[in-house]
Structure 1
């Protein structure tokens, strides 16, 4: 029984990893990287006071 539980856990880990990479690739495809970088720069310049 314990071995079966480990196999199910391993399959779930692999599925979640593949889904995460798929969502990451989709975000890159849509151009979300530039938006996130732009927001990060604005936070640094406005809130923290750099620049």
Structure 2
């Protein structure tokens, strides 16, 4: 007899969780905040800001 191939649930749960968290971050404007901080750090590194 052949065994049924079992589908693991944990990868689907984790992907769903991460997508949910990503949507929350985007809706709160986190990408803009990260880019602003990166901009200021880069300017500080080269001695302009």
Give the structure-1-normalised TM-score.
Answer: 0.69
Structure 2: unaligned runs, 5 residues or longer? none
Higher relative contact order (Cα pairs below 8 Å, separated by 6+ residues): 2
1:30 and 2:28 are equivalent in the alignment: yes
TM-score if structure 2 supplies the norm length? Answer: 0.71
Structure ID, larger Rg: 2
Identify unmatched segments of 5+ residues in structure 1: none
- Length, aligned pairs only: 45
Match of 2:42 among 38, 41, 44: 44
Of Structure 1 and Structure 2, which has the larger fraction of its residues in helix? 1
